[in-house]
Structure 1
Amino acid sequence: MKNLYPILLLLACLSGSVQAQNPLNEYYTKAQKAYETGDFRSYSLFMLKCDSIRPLHPVILQNLAGSYALSKQEEKAFETLYRLIRFKASPSLWEDADLASLKKSSAYAALQTEWQAEQAPILRSDTLFTMADSTAHLESVVFDTLTQRFFMGSVHHRMIYQRNAQGEISPFTQAHDSIMAILGIAIDYKRSLLWASSSATPEMRNYDKTLEGKSYILGFDLATGALRYRLEGPTESFHFFGDVLVDAQGTIWVSDSGSPILYRISNPEKGIETVSSTPALSIQGLALHPNGKYLYFSDYTSGVYIYHLGTQEIKRLPYNPQLYSMKGIDGLYFYDNQLIATHNGTDPMRVVAYQLNEEGTELIGRKVLENNHPAFFEPTLGMIHHDQLYFVANSAWRSYDKNGQPIPALLRRPLVFKMPLK
């Protein structure tokens, strides 16, 4: 059994919930003591409690499977391992001594076969363009159909780049204290603005602790790049604005993964409105149904939720975790009655199409479009244009040390991919 204290404490902080931290550590401590005394039945019960508080965490699931194996609950052990390999399983899984008793079962070979299938590459994307500056750390890309420009949001440089029709890349925004790490970006043709979610993170240049929890929605003039709007998020707790979406009516939607809340901006002059708190732990991507009735948002831990704009009801779209996982979704896009999702919280990373029913309220199918691409470092945000998904293929979050400083050996030239969806 591995020591989970650092991992669990980090997860509690990221969820923005102090209340969630104590029970998780309490049950883990009890699980560890039961493990050390050989009380494996109690160990499995306490690990199950940890799983219920923080579901689909790979280390917790692996320890839960080990607890079942040690307490001779073989069927539950395999059920848990199947849940695990659907989204993440490192090769070290097969060396876990707590799982040794399972190797005698015929089901063990079947599990390994399934794991190998989950790792099989599916390659459909091509490189649309790249940037020479390996420190840029692109997180998002959108295409302006009017001027044939691409805009790219940079985390580390705290700016937005533009790429013209001739392929020339240049700064679109100028340095400004209000501009922090640029995450999601979206074009607002109605107001001739480019909106961006901008949040403080140690990976950006000139970060200091006084900026922690600060988030803004920024509106830039689409022609000149001048900053027209600076809308600050709530200041009473930790916030991290991630994605931004502009609908056909010009309403701007914002996801907050720091305090899982949905926001909207109906009129920039009136600021940011809180739409709803959500049951999610970490809201990521946003997508809108063309009928204007449903907004979808991804939770990094548990899948996709649907928000009914008329009734304000929020519910999670159910799925069977024994068949596949919806964990680790970052970008989310609506296309041809499907939700196209970039998964960077899985191993391997992938792009998946989730088929919806005719009304758009239920999941009825799933197809992996891209899997285990060798260039994937962390696929993140983009957009759909002319039946193709444009997205950042290798966001650089894994290229920093614990203090948020770039590690030169891990830096890569940013890649923007295109993938046919037809």
Structure 2
Amino acid sequence: MKRYVLILVVVLFGAYAKAQTLNEVYGQSVKAYEAKDYKSFLALTLKLDSLRPSHPTFTYNLAAAHALNGSVEEANLYLEKLVLTNNKTEFEKDADFKSLETTAAYKKTLLLKAELEKEIKNSKKVISLSEKDLHPEGLLFLEKSKTWLATSIRKRKIVSFNPKTGKCTDWLTGKNILAVFSIKADKDEKYLWAATGALPEMEKYSKALKGKAEILQIDIKTKAIVKRFSVGGEHLFGDLVVAKNNVVYSTDSEKPIVYKIEKDTITEWLSLNGEALSLQGIALNTENTKLFVADYLSGIVAVDIKNNADRSWLEFPKGSTKKGIDGLTYYDNSLIAIHNGVQPIRIVQYKLDKNQKQLTGFTTLDNNRPEFNEPVLSMLKGNKLYFFANSPWKFYSKEFALDLSKFQNPMLFSHDLKGKI
């Protein structure tokens, strides 16, 4: 059994009462385990998993609880799930799993653990950017002006960069701009749309900015902010897409809500309360009939644009995991997901069925690469996928100072997707 202080739960949920309940139930589960009341241990851990899915401690303990209750098949299933999210977990010497060691499923999980350690190197480095402390997130190529743009979390701006030398030039700056996450242009490249939010990692952050978030509409020709869109309360606009009809859809990572901007008005388009916990990437299919939204824990939901009540959470193929998806890009009836909330980090292309309601298979494009620390959002240019491989989220101090000695300049990578799946 794993015993951890559940700081992650408190941070993720935000609501003190719910986090407190989780800690209380977790404490009860520990006492049941220590008393060898394994039936209660299983029941309590199942409750924890329902409240906070895919937490590594709860997944580990569910595998142990099932094993201790003689549910060998279920125990092996949870062990496989655990390894797919973190292949560094050491469970082999845990006596709780003694009953599983002779089973074929357990031996397959050990092979899977070793398999995930292998490096898969398909994407290639294109260039390093000149600004080391930029902390890029979003990326865009403007076809009309042949301009490459990158957003900055740390510097609260958008830069253009030379694709041959990596030299950065400020494209949009200003004291009233927050950390910039995703950027997208409309089909005519008249306006640039930017998803922003306040984070302690950005320069000149103050507590007064906590929970502030805006979607910016920017005139590409003049580089002037035409309009700012915001909603009351605490929010974080992490990603967005612009449909062919110029309607904008954006995910809120603070609350599981998708917002829509249409006719100069921002409204709540879809609430996923009770279904999702931390919305991330968002993508539209080619026909603009279906929206795909990634949640860091719950996977990917496919939503009908004309009727958002018509939605379904996609079931992931055997041997893959729904956890830890950040960037999400649609390409040729498939979804490319950047899994940076798992170990090892990997980029996976998931094939959709003809109705785009199921995932029918997957190909791992990159896996366990030392350069990937950590990729976030991605974009398409023709058949090529582009992304920054090393956003420095892990290299901030407790006071949110960025240690430049611990990482390299931002590295742009690309991957030719043509004929891959």
Q: Same fold (TM over 0.5)?
A: yes
Q: Please state how far the C-alpha of 1:70 moved relative to its aligned partner.
A: 3.8
Question: What is the distance in 2 between the residues matched to 1:320 and 1:132?
Answer: 39
Q: Is the 8 A contact 1:148 1:164 kept in 2?
A: no
1:295 partnered with 2:291: yes
1:285 CA displacement: 0.8
**What is the 5 A alignment of 1:326-337?**
326-337=322-333
Cα distance in 1 between the residues matched to 2:44 and 2:219? 54
Of 70, 73, 84, the residue aligned with 1:75 is 73
Answer with 185-194 or 98-107: which moved more. Answer: 98-107
Check if 1:235 corresponds to 2:201.
no
Question: Helix, strand or coil for the counterpart of 1:69?
Answer: helix
Partner of 2:158: 160
The match for 1:12 is: 13
Q: 2 CA distance for matches of 1:198 and 1:75?
A: 45
Question: Matches of 2:59 and 2:106 in 1, distance apart?
Answer: 17
Q: % of aligned pairs identical?
A: 33
Deviations 1:336-362 (A, max 9, x none): 111111111111111111111122222
How many Å apart are 1:41 and its aligned residue? Answer: 2.5
Shift of 1:39: 1.9
Q: Which residue of 1 aligns with 2:393?
A: 397
**Cα deviations by residue, 1:340-395 (Å, 9 ceiling, x for unpaired):** 11111111111111111122222222221111122100111121111000111111
Corresponding position of 1:84: 82
Give the 3-state SS of the residue equivalent to 2:180 in structure 1: strand
Whole-Å separation in 2 of the counterparts to 1:28 and 1:166:
53
- Tell me, yes or no, if the aligned pair for 2:156 and 2:173 is still in contact at 8 Å: no
Amino acid of the residue matched to residue 4 of structure 1?
A: V
Q: Structure 1 101/255 Cα, relative in aligned 2: closer, same or farther at 3 Å? A: same
Which residue matches 2:50? 52
The amino acid across from 1:379 in the alignment is P
Q: Which residue of 1 aligns with 2:373?
A: 377
> Which structure 1 segments of 5+ residues have no match?
none
- How far did 1:165 drift? 5.8
The DSSP-based 3-state class of the residue aligned with 2:172 is coil
Counterpart secondary structure, 2:215: strand
| 1:305-316 equivalent positions in 2, closer than 5 A | 305-316=301-312
The reply to whether residue 225 of structure 1 matches residue 226 of structure 2 is: no
Q: Is the 8 A contact 1:135 1:411 kept in 2?
A: no
What is the TM-score with the length of structure 1 in the denominator?
Answer: 0.92
Equivalence for 2:320: 324
Q: CA deviation at 1:321?
A: 6.8
Equivalent residues of 2:68, 2:96 under 8 A apart: yes
Matched, 1:132 2:103: no
Partner-residue secondary structure (3-state), 2:311: strand
CA contact (8 A) 1:87 1:324 kept: no
Q: Aligned-pair distance for 1:314?
A: 4.7
Contact 2:280–2:325 (CA under 8 A) maintained in structure 1: yes
Tell me if the contact between 1:58 and 1:89 (Cα under 8 Å) persists in the aligned partners: no
Larger mean Cα displacement after TM superposition, 350-359 or 32-41: 32-41
Asked if the contact 1:120/1:371 (under 8 Å) is kept, the reply is: yes
1:168-187 CA distance string (max 9 Å, x none): 4211112222x111111111
Q: Select the residue among 131, 141, 144 that pairs with 1:143.
A: 141
Deviation of the 1:25 alpha carbon:
2.5
What secondary structure does 1:391 align onto?
A: strand
1:86 match: secondary structure: helix
- Structure 2: distance between partners of 1:419 and 1:6: 37
Q: Does 1:368 align with 2:369?
A: no
Query: C-alpha distance in 2, partners of 1:209/1:329?
Result: 29
Q: State the AA in 2 paired with 1:235.
A: G
For structure 2, the 5+ residue unaligned runs are: none
1:304 matched to 2:300? The reply is: yes
Distance 1:175 1:411, change over 3 A: farther
Contact conserved, 1:172 with 1:224, CA < 8 A, in 2?
A: no
Whole-angstrom distance in 1 between the partners of 2:103 and 2:301? 38
Q: Residue 277 of structure 2 corresponds to which residue in structure 1?
A: 281
The residue that corresponds to 1:63 in the other structure is 61
The answer to whether 1:185 aligns with 2:193 is no
Compared CA separation, residues 57 and 91, structure 1 to 2 (3 A)? closer
Which of 257, 261, 279 does residue 257 from structure 2 map onto?
A: 261
